[in-house]
Structure 1
Amino acid sequence: MTNGNNRLAQFIDAPGGITAEAARERAEARLGRLRERSDVTVSECIERIGAALSACEQPTPELREEMYRMAYGVANLAGTFDRPALGQAAYSLCALLDDCDVRNHWDRVGVHVHHDALRMLQSRTLTPPAVERLLAGLDAVRKRCRS
């Protein structure tokens, strides 16, 4: 029994409530539903990046900003739901878009490569060695853009 003078202790000792195991199970179920919604949102973001790429040869600053926001959203959700490779690819796209702005040079091929990589990683069909090669390739694309 806990100290009866402490309100928190009284609350903890009060009858009712749920066990820690039941609370964990509920939290896992809710997290599963959030993960499913996150996957849908990630796919939508990747589709919007593709649509922006298809819209024109040389995107406007607003369209580039839209691609950046979508990539950043993918990176955030990937980090939240333990998808490090997807997050790394999305952050790489953000960095590439930043590099393009700084150099005032649009790297359409590099952005397409990143978009394709995001699609492949979202599919979850790549083996770990293939994921490593893909991420190394994205680094090479970014380095090429900087030179």
Structure 2
Amino acid sequence: MTTSRLTRFVDLPGGIDIRTALVRAQANAEAYRGSALELIDQAIEALIVAGEDVDAATAARLAETIRSLAGMFELATLEQSAASLCDMVRALVERGAWDSRAVWVNIRALKIIRQHGDSENLQEVLEGLRRLGARAAAGRQT
């Protein structure tokens, strides 16, 4: 059986164990939490400023930024809300029927969720966003 390069490095004397490596990686990531939250806030603000006139490319790019950063720092509710916006934008573009009101509702929800943190009380909001996205993607009146 051949050994992988990683296996060979793990077995080297003087190396660090996996747990130590994970703890260090987590600590390094935490050093960027403040910067990441600022980037999330800037992306949400850019969406708010664009308002109902936001174009699909901008909405998708900013929502993906929010989703990625929120996921990295385990902000589950914010990540799910941004993912809903990503899915909605993709579906509306594929359908060829932009629904600015539905997108705007999702953008406003992002701001509310960011202001209130990762609360279980917001699960109903997330479920509403999923339903809104499904209706918009199916072309039903929102």
- The normalised TM-score by structure 2 is 0.74
The superposition leaves residues 74-111 of structure 1 with CA deviations (integer Å, 9 ceiling, x where unpaired) of: 00011100011111111110111112112221211111
- Counterparts of 2:105 and 2:125, CA distance in 1: 10
Check 1:35–1:125 CA distance in 2 against 1; reply closer, same or farther (3 A cut): closer
Pick aligned residue for 1:39 from 4, 17, 37: 37
Cα 1:124–1:32 shift into 2, 3 Å: farther
In 1, the alpha carbon distance for the partners of 2:49 and 2:123 equals: 27
Gaps of 5+ in 1: 1-7, 14-19
**What do you get for the CA RMSD once the two structures are aligned?**
2.6
> Which stretch shifts more, 118-127 or 74-83?
118-127
- Whether the aligned pair in 1 keeps the contact of 2:84 and 2:129 (CA below 8 Å) is yes
Deviations 1:25-76 (Å, cap 9, x if unpaired)? x76664333011100000001111122225x3xx5xxx32011000001000
The aligned residue for residue 64 of structure 2 is: 72
Could you tell me how far apart the structure 2 residues matched to 1:101 and 1:42 are? 24
* Structure 2 portions without partners, runs of 5+: 1-11
Q: Identity of aligned pairs, percent?
A: 25
Counterpart position of 1:17: none
Change in Cα spacing, 1:28 to 1:143, as seen in structure 2 (3 Å) is closer
Q: So what's the TM-score if we normalise by structure 1?
A: 0.72
Secondary structure of the 2:98 match is coil
2:126 aligned with 1:135: yes
Measure how far apart 1:125 and its partner are: 4.8
Partner secondary structure for residue 32 of structure 2: helix
Query: Which amino acid in 2 is paired with 1:120?
Result: I
Larger Rg: 1
Cα deviation, 1:105-127, whole Å, max 9, x if unaligned, reads 12111111111111111113574
Amino acid of the structure 2 residue aligned with 1:87: E
